[in-house]
A = this chain, B = another copy of it.
Amino acid sequence: MFINMKRTATLATIATTAYLTGAYFEKQKIFQKHKFLQNLDSRPGLPIFGTVSAAVPMTTDELKSSATSRISQIMKYGFPGLDNVRSYSDYVLSYDRRNRVAHWVFEHLTAESIKSNDKVDRSKCDFRSDESIHPFFRSENTDYKKSGFDRGHMAAAGNHRLHQSHCDETFFLSNMAPQVGKGFNRDSWNRLESYVRKLTKIYPNVYCCTGPLYLPKREPDGKMYVKYEVIGSNTVAVPTHFYKVVVGETADGHLEMEAYIMPNQIISDDTPLTVFQVPAETIERSSGLLFFDKINRKQLTKINGRKC
């Protein structure tokens, strides 16, 4: 997966420009079609980003450049895929328009970004539909209502505590997937999220990629089938599993990886998280994505807790 760094840097620039351009035009097209949206989100010159908070008011150019550099930081080790990429102020997402759930969500965590902050109040955040997604492919709160599933965060709210707006933006429904509530979202999945946050005590930089899986299962007829429920009038897919691929960067630049798959079902609280560890390749093959592809896997000094 390693390609030389110079080419990689060029690639990143080209790719970022392409995604941002794509995102920009998609939004413009939607605005063209649904002019009423323009009033809701029409920051001139900064059309693709969400709210960027700052103590001192910045110019549009400053905002743009600060947001762009944050995206470069989050995506430092590569994009897992390029389908419908969207950047928010503190995370980046690729949206699966067929399943109305993200393909992947990328975050960069530091001790500072996860520290509890009096100025950020999660209870002020509202689950709301993401109007940057074309209405045909957008999930709505009504889809989840009476479905029996939680609106489970992919980028966890607790990972984005620097600004109220960072926390707010994790409540876009594009960042949600239908998750079993009790025993999963509120319990074992939450345990995994807390564990990832704690990694910032060991690593100054933690890169975390999260997303859904739709895994096949052998049925009594001996054949393999992918089967998943879809909920609401927008037929939002209920993933069979979720994954996290995490890379910790040590102060001296060593890179260590952990990868997890958890079934979207009730999991006993006493199940150790290590039970869910898998080789990253397993997730790659199932999801159609390539994680951290700017890192040569041979560069990793530890994988799932084992020295390489």
**Which positions in A face B, CB cutoff 8 Å?**
1-3, 7, 11, 14-15, 17-18, 21-22, 25, 28-29, 32-33, 81-84, 96-99, 134, 136-137, 214, 216, 223-231, 235, 237, 281, 284-290, 293
Distance in Å from the Cβ of A232 to the closest Cβ of chain B?
A: 9
Total identical chains: 2
Contacts of A97 in B (CB 8 A): 81, 288-289
CA distance A29 to B79 in the complex (A): 13
Q: Closest 8 A-B residue pairs measured CB to CB?
A: A97-B288, A18-B18, A98-B288, A83-B83, A227-B227, A216-B230, A224-B230, A136-B285
A225 touches B228 (CB 8 A): yes
CA distance A231 to B70 in the complex (A): 42
Contacts of A289 in B (CB 8 A): 97
Contacts of A29 in B (CB 8 A): 1, 3, 293
Contacts of A287 in B (CB 8 A): 98
Distance in Å from the Cβ of A20 to the closest Cβ of chain B?
A: 10
Chain B residue with the shortest CB-CB distance to A221: B229
CA distance A152 to B230 in the complex (A): 28
B82 touches A81 (CB 8 A): no
Q: Decide yes or no: A22 and B225 within 8 Å by CB, A97-B288, A216-B235 being known contacts.
A: no
CA distance A185 to B18 in the complex (A): 38
CA distance A14 to B20 in the complex (A): 11
A226 touches B230 (CB 8 A): yes
B82 touches A22 (CB 8 A): yes
Distance in Å from the Cβ of A68 to the closest Cβ of chain B?
A: 17
A22 touches B28 (CB 8 A): no
Contacts of A28 in B (CB 8 A): 3, 7
